[in-house]
Structure 1
Amino acid sequence: MDLANYPMPWLSRDEIREVSNEAQKIHDDIAAGRLIIHLHAHDGHTTVAVGTYPGGQSIHLHGENHLRQTTLVYDTTAEALRDFDDLYTDAVRPGPAPATETEQGAAAALAGTPAAGAGAPREAAPAEPVPPRTETVPVYAADPGDHEALLGEFLDTHGEWEKYRPWDETTIANHESLTLRAEFVHETGPRDTAWAVAPYESPVGERIWHATATPTTPVEIMRTLLDSLASENAWGQGPDSKITEKTLAEATRPLADDGWPQNTDGRCMNWTAPASEPAGLRFDAFAAQRPSGVLPTWTLWGGNTADRPTWAIHLSARAPAPLLQDLTFELAQGQGNRRLRNPRPLRSTPPTARPSLQSRAVAPGPPAATRKR
């Protein structure tokens, strides 16, 4: 071991082994599904991430490969996600970070794939990719899926829509009538707007209603919104119309039929999923009275809480009831896939950072690892 070139030369040989052993345990927990990574980011120097041991605590991770370490430990996933988002803001991306070159090389070696440039008596057949193990869950609890592929599929199956890309980061799908539009931003943070859709009175007329969606929205729900936009359901209420009890009943009928509990919280009416996975529909009566305001009238959400969800679709006041019914039907009845999660952690409590070591492993100075309560 070349101690002189080790990235943290202030560590002793035994401490270096301890850092590497801890990094290997974290890698194994992620690979085995015992540690679920929710978000990752690049802090300007290395990769950071936030994850949860199912049934256990949530942690912040710092570093890559043999330097990956636990830096913060939380009792709740919501607090860990909130702090991570506050720390890394626009750099945050959903899911785990792509495998490093070292991890790819190790995986290739374990699979028996010859290293690049190495001689072999015969050409080895390419290893078949191992699909990730998934489970079928209610659609609102599914993984986001591939939104890039969804956009391509929509344009391929709807010939009356044309693709326009004004900037590298944005693709716009325009209907041939020039009165329907869907905009997709390719690189966004998990709580930013990735989709914006709207119909217009005429090619140069006013916008009738609009909807936005985060990139973490399950593709099955986003597909329903796009398909409904491309149908006759796209046209909303007139400029002077108001939301009535009939509108509410029509829009939420699939949730009522499926037994979703409904309650009123101040100015908002909420329908929540009857299962253990958090999800719901929120109707804001205050926003409904101000159709030109910035507050959304309808919010479909999933994960965590309605105020800070994992994914969300926001719709304005004049969104048509048939389109809303399409979305709530998918919310109530749809299913999707989620990467399989091991219900039991590796041990009763996940590894917690030791201040005396972690402060030296991450950076000299005050301890980097603290316990959040």
Structure 2
Amino acid sequence: MTSDAWKSKPRRFIQYNDLVFKGTRSINGTPSETITTKYGSTEYLLRHGSYVTAQDTQLLIKEDKISLDLAIETTNWDLETVKAHVDFIKEQLITRGKLWAIDTGGTLIWANVLLDSYTPTYEWTYRDDGAICFQVEFNNYSGVWHKADGNTTFLMPYELCSWTSMLANCFYNSDCDNCENTAWVERGFCENCALQCCELGDAEPLCSLRGDVEESFFSQCDSVYRVVHNCELGRNMLGSEKLWGQAFCDTCIEDIFTTKFYADTVLKSRNITVTLYGEFENPEITINDTKVKLEGKFTKGYLSVSSDGRIYEFEQAVELQCEPTEISNTVLTLCDGKWWTVEKGFNQLIVQGITSSHFCAFINYERLTY
């Protein structure tokens, strides 16, 4: 298979929570997903067409439903562990979480979804082809898909952490009765305390992988990787600043810094955090002609401003995850009556009120598609 051939494939759903859809044959038929947009429409009485109203030139997206016909392979299951495997599948499906997919072109994406309906087939008995089949419908309640962050998304070799082998080992682990007393447990999973695979020692950050890694997800029978989203692992492995987004630094600054950055978000992104390093007096942060101003002097080193109104000041990068100083948003003014927006293509960032010679700016935003 050539690289051009596999990149033309449609979106492939690969995992929900920790339930990996092993190989392309784990999904029967064609998945169903319909995208619908938000706008108002009033039909003209004496002319063609209708009058439409929308919030912006780019339409907003409604929640949508994703229907999958799943076939979970059972040929490597022991009869003694069937109950544990089935319980694991049901527990994963009923838990709100992330649905992962490979988009056309090879981009790893995810959506926050919840189970809307579940239809079992053959009452969870073995089929002749060695699979358990059932239909699920997920509700993508935010309506959007997120492009995976290469610094917080990791790929685990699936053969080292297959959920079936994980459960089998857990099933026979004599310490499982004491599982609830261990530090590993977050949701009461026995398997979380039973195996080293939960320590993520073999996880590789998506940003460091080379070659057409995405091609491995189109194998018919097997899965090479399990996807793990873990911010804490990203901080420990790559450093806190890597999680703050695109970085821009300069020296010999005199009051103002300006730069352009490219964003590959398809939908306009409004969930934005700007983190500044340096010293500032009445700083103004402008993104694409939208200005946000803060009143006061900020000399601790780092200043973080988010589009949800949160403002933090701290001296060292690690403090943002620990106990940063929270600043009242009464010092904040939305000069244009709205927060920033990052659009697809080139965007402009301007920071004024810099009183130190050395300066850095980090901009983090959602990379959205549908």
TM-score normalized with structure 2 length? 0.25
Higher strand share: 2
Higher RCO, Cα 8 Å, sep 6+: 1
Higher helix share: 1
